[in-house]
Amino acid sequence: MSNENTAGVDTDRIKKRLDSRKAKMKLSLAACAHCTLCAESCFLFNARDNDPTYMPSYKFINSIGVLYKKKGVVDRATLEDIRDVVWGRCVLCTRCYCPFGIDIPEMIAFARNICREQGVFPDYEEKGSIHAG
Amino acid sequence: MVKAKRKPLEEIADAISAYGKVLTVGCGGCVSVCLAGGQREVQELNAELELTLKEKGTSKTLGNYTVERQCNMDLLQEMDDMVGGYDCILSMACGAGVQLMAERYPNIPVFPAVNTVFIGVDRDIGMYEEKCRACGECVLAYTGGICPVTRCAKGLFNGPCGGTNNGKCEVSQEIPCAWLDIYERLKGQGRLDDILKLQGVMQWQNQLQRTVVQPKFEKRYYK
């Protein structure tokens, strides 16, 4: 069992959400061969000097991948880290290309949905708030 | 980005008055950034509506959800299983989002909860300024990066008009003359020749619904 401090996070709800798309999520995570071909299709990756943390594969593995691996048992800080990835490093332009057909935008949108449900989303009223676009 | 402003509460309440179950849907795109229709604004609107209804001694079922972008069908379709339980949808997206939502769910009335105002820039948090009217024929190259369609009250292409007065517009002394600003900008860049080139009449393209297809995709969409 995880020893995360999950106070303020409805882990059962996250698990339920993860289960609703488990098959596709599992297949997507298993299918990623880390080939990095998706990187070239990401305009943010190109605009940020090929920073590997902007690779679409990095973004979906470090968001929905984390939630899946931890079976939804995550603390708020983890959700906030995921928020910084799925909003701060992705504009959800849906242009990323995967030769294996992984729907990366769908996975990132899914991670955003889960964060939103837990009340973790960008605060645009804050100066310098995160949004990639 | 697109900028919007929430409609008055009374107008929204009036639009949904005939419906018992209302789903308020936010958009995670432009309207979130301009603080008009994101997740936070959805929750605020529902709280205000609940209070208004309570004051009137009535109540409704008010659901809330925020999709990442209402102007993208792939992202919108996640609502398919949800909307059946509601009598109407209150969309907090821009006009494009509201219309795509209405197209996706043609049997459910969709009402806008925001007024889409313009394409503009962020001056500060909560303060936005119009910069573009999407006329479809950008003239910024010869106007020193200042849009006469947006900034000039008359939208003049060969300005200024006779109403310019000490750098202000005849419409209001509060409004700077766009064409004076264009002149100063071009002068500073040593490009005053540009202002002397007469510009022809714009072929206004916004009378018909426009579609953009990028050249490299023409083969895909035009058979």
Q: What is the rounded CA–CA span in Å between residue B193 and residue B191?
A: 5
A125 touches chain B (CB under 8 A): yes
B81 touches chain A (CB under 8 A): no
B159 touches chain A (CB under 8 A): no
Q: What is the rounded CA–CA span in Å between residue A84 and residue A54?
A: 11
C-beta of residue B91 within 8 angstroms of C-beta of residue B71: no
pTM, 2 dp? 0.86
CATH entry, B2-119, from 3.40.50.850, 3.40.50.1370, 3.30.70.270, 3.40.50.2300: 3.40.50.2300
Domain ranges of chain B: 2-119, 134-196
* Region of residue B204 (left: phi > 0; alpha: psi -120 to 50; beta: else): beta
B125 chain-A contacts, CB cut-off 8 A: 124-127
DSSP string for residues in B205-217: -TTS------GGG
Instruction: Give which of B27, B68, B80 to mutate to test A binding, by max A Cβ within 10 Å.
Output: B68
B39 touches chain A (CB under 8 A): yes
Structure ipTM: 0.77
Whether the pLDDT of residue A129 is over 80: the answer is no
**How far A1 CA sits from the closest chain B CA (Å)?**
32
Show pLDDT as tens, one digit a residue, over chain B (223 residues). Answer: 999 999 999 999 999 999 999 999 999 999 999 999 999 999 999 999 999 999 999 999 999 999 999 999 999 999 999 999 999 999 999 999 999 999 999 999 999 999 999 999 999 888 999 999 998 889 999 999 999 999 999 999 998 999 999 999 999 999 999 999 999 999 999 999 998 888 888 877 767 888 888 888 899 998 7
B35 chain-A contacts, CB cut-off 8 A: 124-125
